[in-house]
């Protein structure tokens, strides 16, 4: 199966799984509507795709890892809903659509994000076909990635602290963006019970992808096409946020994206059937959205 066909198979499976969530009739139906609005708003589904590919490379039926992959996507979606709020980045557009709070109001947007997080852990805890100790380990991976020393810490650095030097920005980007991409890879490794050596290589790959992903985001915030990027161009500057583009310029950032991509590919160079990972790294480096 070639890259595009495999990616589409993963993406379609993820969309189908997510589409089946929160469909019941409830007296508080607006909550489910708000959750589904953001959860089903599209996007690359990069994180769940990574989970499913590493599960496949670990030798299991990748469909077994769908609850893990989609759990991470629920957490990612909650983070985007909250990130867009007026008290955070105050964005009106996400993936080319009005943000959740614009459509449903701030209170329901906050609550939709609040609900998505525990529902994510429920997906892992109840994942069929995987043993209890495996599910427990997966819960731990996601907890570390999205908790007070992970993604939330990154959001705090982004909104409360003035991270204006290279060291501070590296920490911010790793925590806000990188740890969730690394968790995506690790969840696939956990599902497949991959060896420690291979898991370490997978994490190196994901960390490099995550670093390049955020740098590419910073570049696109300056030179991207808003219709393609899906959110306002220049929002970082408008919010007076310092990025690596401000520190070193676009050309140096593009070079570092290339270096991160090369390091990611080197981490899995010895793996059999690594073509998908190699092409994914290249495509992320040149993405426009």
- What does the pLDDT average to over 23-41? 97
Mean pLDDT score of the chain: 92
Provide mean pLDDT across the span 145-163.
93
Residue whose C-alpha is closest to residue 262's, from 215, 212, 188: 212
Model confidence at 79, pLDDT cuts 50, 70, 90, reads: very high
Tell which wins on pLDDT, 29 or 236.
29
Q: Identify the pLDDT of residue 145.
A: 97
For residue 134 the two structure tokens come to: 């495996």
Query: What are the E-state strand segments in the chain?
Result: 93-94, 97-98
Q: Name the one residue in this structure whose structure tokens are 């980007």.
A: 173
Mean pLDDT of 60-72: 98
pLDDT at 224 over 80: no
**Which among 112, 44, 93 has a CA at the least distance from the CA of 221?**
93
Residue 43 has pLDDT above 90, yes or no: no
- Predicted confidence band of residue 289 (pLDDT cuts 50, 70, 90): low
Q: What confidence tier does 229 reach under pLDDT thresholds 50, 70, 90?
A: low
What's 59's domain CATH number? 1.10.600.10
Q: Phi/psi zone of residue 43: left (φ > 0), alpha (ψ -120 to 50 degrees), beta? A: left
| pLDDT band with cut points at 50, 70 and 90 for residue 237 | low
Nearest CA to 49 out of 287, 284, 261 is that of 284
Range 83-108 burial, b when 16+ CB lie within 10 A, else e:
bbbeebbebebbeebebbbbebeeeb
Check if the beta carbon of residue 163 is closer than 8 Å to that of residue 157. Answer: yes
Q: How many domains does the chain have?
A: 1
Q: What percent of the chain has pLDDT over 90?
A: 77
Residue-range definition of the domain harbouring residue 231? 3-285
Of 183, 166, 206, nearest to 76 by C-alpha is 183
**pTM of structure:** 0.92
pLDDT at 238: 63
How deeply is 286 buried, as exposed, middle or buried, from its count of CB atoms within 10 A (0-12, 13-18, 19+)?
Answer: exposed
Pairwise CA distance, residues 98 & 92, whole Å: 6
Q: How many CB atoms lie within 10 A of CB 38?
A: 24
Q: Which of 229 and 22 is assigned the larger pLDDT? A: 22
Strand partners, 98: 93
């Amino acid at each position: 199966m070639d890259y595009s066909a495999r990616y589409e198979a993963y993406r379609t499976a993820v969309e189908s799984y997510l589409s089946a969530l929160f469909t019941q009739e409830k007296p508080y139906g607006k909550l489910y509507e708000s959750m589904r609005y953001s959860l089903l708003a599209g996007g690359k589904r990069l994180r769940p795709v990574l989970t499913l590919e590493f599960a496949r490379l670990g030798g299991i039926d990748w469909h077994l890892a769908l609850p893990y992959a989609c759990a991470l996507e629920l957490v990612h979606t909650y983070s985007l809903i909250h990130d867009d709020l007026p008290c955070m980045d105050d964005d009106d557009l996400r993936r080319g659509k009005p943000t959740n709070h614009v459509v449903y109001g701030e209170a329901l947007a906050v609550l939709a994000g609040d609900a998505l997080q525990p529902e994510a852990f429920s997906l892992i805890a109840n994942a069929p076909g995987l043993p209890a100790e495996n599910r427990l380990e997966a819960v731990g991976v996601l907890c570390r990635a999205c908790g007070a020393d992970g993604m939330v810490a990154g959001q705090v650095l982004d909104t409360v602290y003035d991270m204006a030097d290279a060291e501070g920005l590296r920490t911010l980007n790793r925590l806000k963006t990188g740890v969730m991409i690394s968790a995506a890879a690790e969840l696939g490794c956990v599902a497949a019970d991959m060896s420690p050596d291979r898991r370490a290589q997978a994490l190196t790959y994901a960390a490099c992808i995550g670093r390049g992903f955020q740098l590419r985001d910073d570049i696109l915030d300056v030179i991207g096409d808003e219709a393609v990027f899906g959110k306002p161009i220049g929002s970082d500057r408008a919010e007076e946020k310092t990025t690596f583009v401000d520190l070193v310029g676009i050309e140096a950032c593009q070079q570092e994206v290339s270096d991160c991509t090369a390091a990611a590919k080197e981490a899995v160079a010895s793996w059999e059937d690594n073509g998908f990972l190699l092409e994914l790294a290249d495509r992320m480096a040149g993405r426009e959205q």
